[in-house]
Amino acid sequence: MSKEPTRILVAGGGSVGLYAALRLQQKLRREIARGAAEVVLVNPEPYMTYQPFLPEAAAGNISPRHVVVPLRRVLDRCRFIPGELLGADPEKRTATIRTLAGEEENEPPRTLRYDELVLGVGSVSRTLPIPGLAEYGIGFKNVEEAIGLRNHVLEQLDIASSTRDPQIRAAALTFVFVGGGYAGVEALAELQDMAAYACRYYPNISPEEQKWILVEAANRILPEVGLTMGEYTVRELRSRNVDVRLNTRLESCTERVVVLDDGSRHPTRTLVWTTGVKPSPVLRDCGVPLDDRGRVECTAQLRVDGVPHVWAAGDCAAVPDLTADDPAPDGRRPRCAPNAQHALRQGRQLADNIVALLRGRPLTDYEHRYAGSVASLGLHKGVARVYGRRFKGFPAWWLHRTYHLSRVPTINRKTRVLAEWTLAGLFKREIVSLGSLEHPRAEFESVAGADRPRPGTPGKGDATP
């Protein structure tokens, strides 16, 4: 009877999952070739999204298909299962998975055996029970949301240019972003830059007529780039007529009216929610210890604390930061920040440690001193803090693009992104809304007699008008 291969199950196809699986298929290529090892990756989508490029995709600087990395092509020696992790039993070394085919056929979830389990399920948007948020809010965490938001903003310009109702026009030209972190600031800055440029094709709309509002509950934005660069960012945005409101919270957004706790009310058709993330809730069903934030408790070797044969990294893991100078108030080391800089390195280190374990070699602690942060504020504008040095304007924007171009996976994607940036410098921006892509069958269903609203018609719970 032949022995079953050593199965390494990687749950999640984000930065951790992709880089861990890629490293494993490189390090274990001989074992995989002769059937002694198997790397299985489970993810709902057949691609990995490089999230730092989402703002540029929303602004039209990068094609959406170049923001994602196809898992099947890159992980050609791994087995890919389109589905999602529902839970795990570390004692039995089994994972429960719901596949796309099983969902279509109403089959029960399947159970998959593993020898080593990698939890790279990442995070989900952190929301609050604010009235109207679920009905009218728009997220900004995946490529579908980024392109949907781009289409939505351009559709608002179409609505404003074609209506005679001043209230509808004012609401269409009001854009509210809640959250002053990377996602909120970069998305607002890129889209505001794009919308201002688009006004040259709308003779009856001026950039000054648009109202962009950034709402942040803290007293600063972009804390990762430091206080000085955060204050510069506020000044830069305000010089572009962006209404930056610090120490302010969203109270409600019912009936398309945003109400802030400073008493102001803003009729708007656009509310973007970017207030951060929280670990995936599936971790509660994986039999692993969680900290007070819902992250998996890990050792510096990226093993789950007290649970053998289970590993974790990225946004969903609390990994000790060995480079931190001062311990936390409770005497423990601070945890690594949940960002792409740590996630991709942790994915590689985690894979190296799994290979070392299988081959009887000592494991290595994860240790990476934070290099700094870069943020784009639109075309040729940005802020950066790298190894203690501060940059702003064009140098920061150039650093932002250079760094992320070097980090996006595969030579194929690097070349395509670079080519698009080059062409964008030679030709004008594309200002086209393809909102009908979100409901491609809507027109056919309408003419065929189906009871479904036509494209652009608001439905119940639809954030787009």
pLDDT tier at 55 (50, 70, 90 boundaries)?
very high
Out of 359, 383, 413, a domain closes at 359
Answer yes or no: is 87 within a domain. yes
Angle 342-346-349 from CA coordinates, rounded to 5°:
145
Residue 186 shares a structural domain with residue 249: yes
Contact (Cβ atoms closer than 8 angstroms) between residue 93 and residue 114: yes
What does the pLDDT read at residue 111? 95
CATH number for the domain including 71? 3.50.50.60
**385 pLDDT exceeds 80?**
yes
Answer yes or no: is 212 within a domain. yes
Residue 117 shares a structural domain with residue 145: no
Q: Name the average pLDDT for the chain.
A: 89
Answer yes or no: is 98 within a domain. yes
In terms of Cβ atoms closer than 10 Å to its own Cβ (0-12, 13-18, 19+), residue 322 is middle
- Mean pLDDT calculated for residue range 61-68: 89
Residue 33 shares a structural domain with residue 162: no
Out of 326, 359, 392, a domain closes at 359
Residues 6+ apart with CB under 8 A from 384: 225, 229, 372, 373, 374, 375, 390, 391, 392, 395, 396, 399, 400
Residue 171 shares a structural domain with residue 57: no
pLDDT tier at 348 (50, 70, 90 boundaries)?
very high
What does the pLDDT read at residue 430? 75
What does the pLDDT read at residue 465? 39
- Mean pLDDT calculated for residue range 94-107: 84
Q: Domain range for residue 256? A: 133-275+372-426
Q: 296 pairs with which residues across the strands?
A: 290, 317
Q: Any idea of the CA torsion for 148, 423, 427, 202, to the nearest 10 degrees?
A: 10
**89 pLDDT exceeds 60?**
yes
Answer yes or no: is 459 within a domain. no
Residues 6+ apart with CB under 8 A from 148: 138, 435, 438, 464
Q: Would you give the end-to-end CA distance of the chain in angstroms?
A: 62
Closest to 397 (Cα-Cα) out of 63, 146, 56, 66: 56
- Mean pLDDT calculated for residue range 46-63: 91
Angle 409-123-16 from CA coordinates, rounded to 5°:
30
> How big, in percent rounded to 5, are the helix, strand and coil portions of the chain?
40, 25, 40
Residue 137 shares a structural domain with residue 236: yes
CATH number for the domain including 377? 3.50.50.100
Residue 408 shares a structural domain with residue 268: yes
Answer yes or no: is 335 within a domain. yes
Residue 200 shares a structural domain with residue 216: yes
**464 pLDDT exceeds 70?**
no
Beta strands 68-70 and 47-49 are: antiparallel
Number of domains in the chain: 2
Q: For the residues of 126-155, what is the DSSP string, one character each?
A: -----TTHHHHEE--SSHHHHHHHHHHHHH
Closest to 237 (Cα-Cα) out of 175, 192, 303, 196: 192
Percentage of the chain beyond pLDDT 90 is: 71
Answer yes or no: is 440 within a domain. no
**335 pLDDT exceeds 90?**
no
Look at 304 and 430; give whichever has higher pLDDT. Answer: 304
**236 pLDDT exceeds 70?**
yes
Answer yes or no: is 455 within a domain. no
pLDDT tens per residue, range 407-462: 888 898 999 999 999 988 888 777 777 766 667 777 777 788 755 554 444 443 44
198 SS3 class: helix
Q: Lowest mean pLDDT: which of 53-57, 340-344, 353-357?
A: 340-344
Residue 237 shares a structural domain with residue 311: no
Residue 103 shares a structural domain with residue 223: no
Look at 326 and 6; give whichever has higher pLDDT. Answer: 6
Residue 219 shares a structural domain with residue 80: no
Answer yes or no: is 49 within a domain. yes
Residue 344 shares a structural domain with residue 311: yes
Out of 328, 359, 390, a domain closes at 359
60 SS3 class: coil
Residue 71 shares a structural domain with residue 203: no
Q: For the residues of 365-401, what is the DSSP string, one character each?
A: -------EEEEE-STT-EEEEETTEEEESHHHHHHHH
The position carrying tokens 């150039």 is 398
Question: Does the model's pTM come out above 0.85?
Answer: yes
Give me the numbers of helices (H) and strands (E) for the chain, helices first please: 14, 24
* φ, ψ for residue 310, nearest 5 deg: -125, 135
